[in-house]
A and B are shown apart, each in its own frame.
Chain A
């Protein structure tokens, strides 16, 4: 297994820059998720590692060796495709053995390795079948097996679970994670599903518009999103964001908006002072907000728009001025649409962003 370094990686198509100056390091044996909305450059980045696309600038190193100009076949990587890309005219055994055959491995050894991979993935009974005779989940396993059989330095996975139905996806997600733990493999995994990234990855690289927005462990990305994009992309339901104006009176910092004013704690006040301009944005996760039915000090007035019970939790959609907040409450809470409420903030879990730069303001 290996460490992968991205150094100022750039990819342009004519005047369009699909990947802009991306740098990060995937540690040996780490599971890294490249995550972002479609068109953010994550699949392009993966194809750059695979060698299916040529870099416009920068370097990619695997185990310290620059691989920019190597053919895909010489990079010692394996890839699992979204549509699995199984060879339709070859049996499962032939599909699994193909990478070995191309590397001129002896026939007996190919047979052993194919059988071993098949046993590991529980597809031994399918070896003589053709891909079209398999279910989606089985095809997925074969695709994984074909990557596995070669014992490559790095595994690349391009949305490998997105063609599966919801139930199978959850099961395969757990299997993939387990597979990574057992093999201690270096995995780079592309997904648009932030939940998949959160649950599986050691680190997530959040991308948008070709730019790497944040690269960190999932819990850090969740707890300290680097900017407004990451804050709104990671977590479900998305973080509530409320534009406000910073006002200072008698040494106390307030955040104010139309018809409301919130006294900021010392820590948050100090942070707010570091904003370039008076325009700041408050961010709060649904679970860090309290819903009061009577006027409470430190809470801002709002109105219930609608109530969504999901069983475990009930999500209250609440209007604050022209913004809508989503707040989770226990399912036995009796609230109704159009009811006036007051939203209380947990200042320890409040996020602050500079409205001008859209960057997080560190609180310390």
Chain B
């Protein structure tokens, strides 16, 4: 007799719904992984092999070795992506932390208007700004530079970063800083020694968010960069599709490598991320 939990029709329907969603989310990734271990020939076989008969790491070795053209190119893209994403993250956090703190703590004229204007940007789809931004970048002579991408990613990522972090600072009692200042801290020390450690989860979440956004971005990278040397991974991968259209395992291996940093980061830091997203919403 289990009266506390009875399986109803709604439960069953819910499970089916979730299973469907899960299938659509996971199946492509599984397929990507399986294909990446196959030989080129096996990848084209019909009906396809669900489990590769001769799994090998040939594609990974080729992509990650600087000894051949493909590997050199791939590693180049990866380095470019790491550089752009890291710069976006570092600058993003460096701007978002003080901005969010100011919004949370200080009362200044136009504070509300400014805060909502920060969010206003997020109401438009990113593509809307593609042409205007391109024209601006060309005018400033920034086309085909990483600076153009970093600036663009910052303007897109900062609003949410600031919003997330403000939620954190709002929940840190102002008395803690006052106590710190009386206990011998300057205003900056009070922030650095007391508030920063308490908002670390928020800062980490913000950093991951900035990094992932920059890492995955495609449209702007495609538009702003021309030199093959300078491409980021998402765009580079697209080139691969064109050039090596028949090498499916190679493409899948490249795609898998690209998703690894995001997945790993998310797995390690997901508890901070979830906290950050809920913190602002629900007052503790």
Where the two chains meet, the residues of A that have a C-beta atom closer than 8 Å to any C-beta of B are 50-52, 71-73, 75, 77-79, 81-83, 85, 87-89, 98-99, 102-103, 146, 150
Question: CB-defined interface of B161-181 with A at 8 Å, one 1/0 digit per residue?
Answer: 000000000000101101111
Q: How far is the CA of A99 from the CA of B180 in the complex (A)?
A: 8
Main secondary structure of the interface of A (DSSP, over half): loop
Query: Which of A52, A88, A146, A150 contacts B181, CB < 8 Å?
Result: A52
Q: Are the C-beta atoms of A83 and B181 separated by less than 8 Å?
A: no
- Provide the residues of chain A in CB contact with B173, threshold 8 Å: 83, 85
- A-binding segment of B123-131, B150-158, B183-191: B183-191
A85 pairs with B198, CB closer than 8 A: no
Complex Cα distance, B184 from A13, in Å, reads 27
Contact B178 A79 (CB under 8 A): yes
With an 8 A cutoff between CB atoms, is B182 at the interface? yes
Distance of A88 Cα from B172 Cα, bound (Å): 10
Q: Is B261's beta carbon under 8 Å from chain A? A: no
A73 touching B183, Cβ below 8 Å: yes
CB neighbours of B82 from chain A (8 A): none
Bound Cα distance A352, B26 (Å): 85
How long is the Cα–Cα vector from A82 to B179 in the complex, in angstroms? 11
Q: In the bound complex, what is the Cα–Cα distance between A50 and B184 (angstroms)?
A: 12
B184 and A81 contact, CB distance less than 8 A: no
Q: A73-B185, A79-B179 are in contact. List 19 more A-B contacts (CB 8 A).
A: A50-B178, A51-B182, A52-B181, A73-B181, A73-B186, A75-B182, A77-B182, A79-B178, A81-B178, A85-B179, A87-B179, A87-B180, A88-B198, A89-B198, A102-B183, A102-B184, A103-B184, A146-B183, A150-B183
Asked if B194 lies at the interface with its beta carbon under 8 angstroms from chain A, I say yes
Nearest residue (CB) in B for A103 is B184
**Chain A: CB-nearest residue to B181:** A72
18 contacts between A and B (CB under 8 A): A50-B178, A73-B181, A73-B182, A73-B184, A73-B185, A73-B186, A77-B182, A78-B182, A85-B173, A85-B179, A87-B176, A89-B198, A98-B180, A99-B183, A102-B183, A102-B184, A102-B185, A150-B183
Chain A nearest CB from B239 CB (Å) reads 48
Q: Chain B residues with Cβ under 8 A from A77's Cβ?
A: 182
B14 is an interface residue with CB less than 8 A from chain A = no
Q: Report the bound CA distance from A253 to B150 in whole Å.
A: 88
What residues of chain A lie closer than 8 Å to B189, measured between beta carbons? 102
Closest A residue, CB atoms, query B176: A85
> Shortest 4 CB-CB distances between A and B: which pairs?
A102-B184, A85-B175, A99-B183, A85-B179
